[in-house]
Amino acid sequence: MITFEVTLFVKKSTRIAILLGAVLVFAFFGHQSLAAAEEEYLIKFATLAPEGSPWMNTFHKINGEIKEKTEGKVKLKAYPGGVLGEDRDMLRKMRIGQVQAGGFTGSGLTLVNSEITVMATPFLFRDYGEVDYVLGKMGGHFKRGFEKEGYVVLGWSEIGFVYLLSNVAVTSIKELRGARVWSIEGDPLASPVLRKAGVTPIPLGIPDVLMALQTNLIDVVYAPPLAAIALQWFTKVKYMTNLPLIYSLGGVLVDKKVFGKISHNLQEILKEVFQRHTSLLNERTRKDNDEAVKVMVKEGIELVTPNYKETEEFKRISLEAIDDLAGKAFSKDVFAEVRSHINEYRKARKVK
Say which residues have a Cβ less than 8 Å from residue 164's Cβ, sequence separation at least 6.
Answer: 170, 176, 220, 221, 222, 240, 241, 243, 245
Question: Are 107 and 48 within 8 A, CB to CB?
Answer: no
Question: Are 331 and 114 within 8 A, CB to CB?
Answer: yes
User: Distance between CA atoms of 249 and 233, rounded to whole angstroms?
Assistant: 20
- Give the pLDDT score at 346: 95
User: What residues form DSSP beta bridges with 181?
Assistant: 220
> Residue 14: how many CB atoms within 10 A of its CB?
11
237 CB-side CA count, 13 A: 34
Residue 8 has pLDDT above 60, yes or no: no
CB-count burial class (<10 Å; 0-12, 13-18, 19+) for 34: exposed
Question: Are 160 and 224 within 8 A, CB to CB?
Answer: yes
- Give the pLDDT score at 186: 76
Most confident of 46-55, 109-118, 147-156: 147-156
Dihedral pair phi/psi, residue 333, rounded to 5°: -65, -45
Q: What's the pTM?
A: 0.81
Q: Which of 48, 196, 65 is nearest to 109 (CA)?
A: 48
Q: For the segment 244-287, what is each residue's pLDDT rounded down to a tens digit? A: 999 999 999 999 999 999 999 999 999 999 999 999 999 999 99
User: Distance between CA atoms of 274 and 283, rounded to whole angstroms?
Assistant: 14
* Lowest mean pLDDT, pick from 17-31, 134-148, 203-217: 17-31
Using DSSP's 3-state secondary structure scheme, residue 252 falls into strand
Q: For the segment 180-234, what is each residue's pLDDT rounded down to a tens digit? A: 999 988 788 888 899 999 999 999 988 899 999 999 999 999 999 999 999 999 9
Q: What is the mean pLDDT of residues 41-70?
A: 94
Q: What percentage of the chain exceeds 70 in pLDDT?
A: 89
Fold of 39-351: D-Maltodextrin-Binding Protein; domain 2 (3.40.190)
| DSSP H helices in the chain | 2-7, 12-38, 54-69, 87-95, 106-112, 128-148, 173-177, 190-196, 206-214, 225-230, 256-260, 264-298, 308-325, 332-351
Q: Which element (helix H / strand E) includes 46?
A: strand 41-47
User: Distance between CA atoms of 65 and 324, rounded to whole angstroms?
Assistant: 46
Question: Are 318 and 326 within 8 A, CB to CB?
Answer: no
The 10 Å CB-count burial string (b at 16+, else e) for 44-79 is bbbbbbbeebebbebbeebbebbeeebeebbebebb
